[in-house]
Amino acid sequence: MFQQQQDRHFRRTLSITALALTGSLAFATTSQSAQAAEPIPVGVIGPSAHIDGRAIFQAAEMAVDEINAAGGIDGRKIELHKYDDQFQATNAVRAYQRAVQQDHVVAMTGVFLSEVGLAMQPWSGRLKTPLIISGAASTKIDQNTHAHYDRFKYTFHTFTNSTFIAKVACDFAHDVLVGQLGYKTAAIFSENAAWTKPVDAEYEKCLPKAGLKVVDKIGFEPNTTDFRPIFNKVQDTKPQVLMTAIAHVGAKAIVQWHQQQVPALMAGANGQGGSSAFWKATNGATDGVIVGTTGAAGAPVTDKTPKFYEDYKKRFGEEPAYDAYTEYDTIYTLKAAIEKAHSTDGAKLVEALEKVKLTGVSGPISFYGPKDAFTHDVVYTPGVTTGVYFQWQDGKQVAIWPPKLAQGKVKLPSFVKAAQ
């Protein structure tokens, strides 16, 4: 009898233990599933009131929505956190700190101003959270990473840096300004900013090689409002082309160029000029201006570019600025890195980003390694990652270079002189 009671007690205890173990396993499985389904917080930063800042936010939003609609990253949705730096480096640094420490973002993307990117860069190492810059161009960002890899290895650059921007401009100048139009002289026309110094230095070297004698070098502050004295000086030196490196003051400079009927063609890097909002911002004064940018007018930079261009226009009612292409690619690059790393840990993401190879809407995406001078900058390939040069013609962007993407020829504004 006593033995039977012991057996019943043992069986009851065994049953309770089994139930408890089953419950624990079920709870653990549920917890793991819940964790796996948790969204992945990703940050994006820029000046929201600016054409190029708005483009960064819109492109990030579009990429995130596409990825989430397709099932997310390993079954997890992306949760996008937006931060407005208002052109202030201090605002950007505080936002980066808050993003990591409070919002727990796994990476910060965006950044329009090079000065802002350079201020944020040291914090990428301190916060051990990737900073993937899609809008700023300064070569100093990549050079810092190369010189102090252990400190700055968390910084990556998906937009072609200033030196390569100038090289592409000179290739265009050789083929179109010299080869097609027969021009022989140019003045460098650039705002004083961190990103333009390397552009100016490269212009001085490569424009003469392209066939354009540099007759003047004009620098001005980004807050310049009156360009009349500058354009008066331009007319004294009589360049046939103004080779630009502008982003902050694009609208004001071009409106006054048009008003003063400056007889020199304006062409080159123009950060704001790629968006259709720029036509409205200048009230059409940008007609005839030639802009080097990441993509334009649906030109098939890659097989993915035309769809992105049309989807962006349909969704936001305007053509994408240069950094819309690169920010869109940045979100997909981060997705590829998370999938490769099977983790959102910062150090593991760095390792994965260094191995990423994909084709984006702006071209092929891979990064220079620690031994390269431009460490973690997107790899530049002459003839491949050249972007597009287009001209504003009657409110439309007409791609004119490279030849494989050209949709038309250059049309000189009525006040711009043809080559003699």
Residue of 96, 75, 76, 74 lying closest to 85 (CA atoms): 96
Which residues contact residue 69 at a Cβ distance below 8 angstroms, ignoring those fewer than 6 apart? none
7's tokens:
């057996």
90's tokens:
């201090």
Q: Give CA–CA dist 85/116, Å, rounded.
A: 8
Domain 41-159+304-365 listed as CATH 3.40.50.2300: yes
What does the domain layout of the chain look like in residue ranges? 41-159+304-365, 163-293+387-405
The reported pLDDT for the residue numbered 217 is 96
Tell whether the torsion through CA atoms of 51, 246, 395 and 134 is positive or negative: negative
The reported pLDDT for the residue numbered 203 is 98
Q: Which fold has domain 163-293+387-405?
A: Rossmann fold (3.40.50)
Q: pLDDT tier at 248 (50, 70, 90 boundaries)? A: confident
**pLDDT for 305-332, tens place per residue?**
999 999 999 999 999 999 999 999 999 9
233's tokens:
């000086």
Is-contact 367 379, C-beta < 8 A? Answer: yes
**Domain pair 41-159+304-365 / 163-293+387-405, same fold:** yes
**pLDDT for 254-309, tens place per residue?**
999 999 999 999 999 998 888 888 899 899 999 999 999 999 989 999 999 999 99
